[in-house]
Amino acid sequence: MGDQADWMSQLCPQLWDVPLHHLSIPGSHDTMTYCLNRKSRISRASSWLLHLLGRVVPFITGPVVMKWSVTQTLDVTQQLDAGVRYLDLRIAHAPEGSTRNLCFVHMMYTKALVEDTFTEIAEWLQSHPREVVILACRNFQGMTCELHDYLVGCIVNIFGDMLCPSGEVPTLRQLWAREQQVIVSYEDEATVSRYDQLWPAIPYWWGNAVKTDVLLRFLETMKGQGRPDGLFVAGINITENLCYILLHPVDSLEEMTRRSLPLMTEWVCAQQPGQSPHCTNIIAGDFVDADGFVSKVISLNRKLLSP
């Protein structure tokens, strides 16, 4: 998948003047869960039942929760090399963490720290100067106003002039001319209002469905209501619930996702980027290394080329 590490710069020049929200861009859902393990702590936002089971039978609960928390197997650099350009970053401050140790969360807290991950992304971008990433900072469990300011300070210090300030959605040619490579979408409105470097939260179409056909019907319904004005995400990720987990203890999110791939892939290949109301933009999925997902999303951009 490494041959897609520079797919943006390798697009047909005709597409360099298309705004990013009219392109087809692959994304990863819950990007950072690849670094969870059985000893990762269950997040304080998880259900009381999970916390109870974690205390009573931790040797069973930890491995089971991990199977349903992990949504990616590639690390962040591998995802970027594979062509992923939208990263879904659920940021948290763990209760026993030090004041500045912000991590990531999806039912469990990661050991990976936000500063280290941003540094890894910035180093990758320096090696790929014409690639652009969209960082969606979300969730913010346990975050105070001070911690938001600290986090934005990290973003500004690490990415610096790579940041594209909020405004009209740019084209690749405009970003290359300004040597900008990073759009940061930030889910906390109060913080966004204080910093020009932050973009408002990018809408994410989340179906919250266990069954693939239900999820795809939801996405089609959303398309029927018309696309948002700017960047937006169609999430082709199926979602378990606690009831499903307890009834299927030997199953896992990965197995569940891979079973759904034929229908998901068929839906992805039928999509059309562009500016019409029914068009898609960012398509984000779990286990992005599976079934040629990234290359299929990128290849949709060919539909924008004049015959």
Sign of CA dihedral 175, 12, 223, 234: negative
Joined together, the tokens standing for residue 152 give 């934005």
**Cα–Cα distance between 151 and 174 in angstroms, integer?**
27
Burial class from Cβ neighbours inside 10 Å (0-12, 13-18, 19+) for residue 180 reads middle
Burial string for 194-219 (b: 16+ CB within 10 Å, else e) reads ebebbbeebbbbbbebbebeebbebb
- End-to-end alpha carbon distance in the chain: 28
106 is catalytic: yes
Q: Which one from 21, 22, 93, 106 is the annotated catalytic residue?
A: 106
Calculate ∠ Cα 77-171-82, nearest 5°: 20
189: left (phi over 0), alpha (psi -120 to 50) or beta: alpha
Q: Tokens for 306?
A: 């004049």
How far is Cα 136 from Cα 141, in angstroms, rounded to an integer?
A: 15
Which residue among the candidates 22, 29, 93, 148 is catalytic per the annotation?
29
Hey, is 127 helix, strand or coil? helix
**51 counts as catalytic:** no
The 3-state DSSP class for residue 226 equals coil
Active site residues: 29, 106
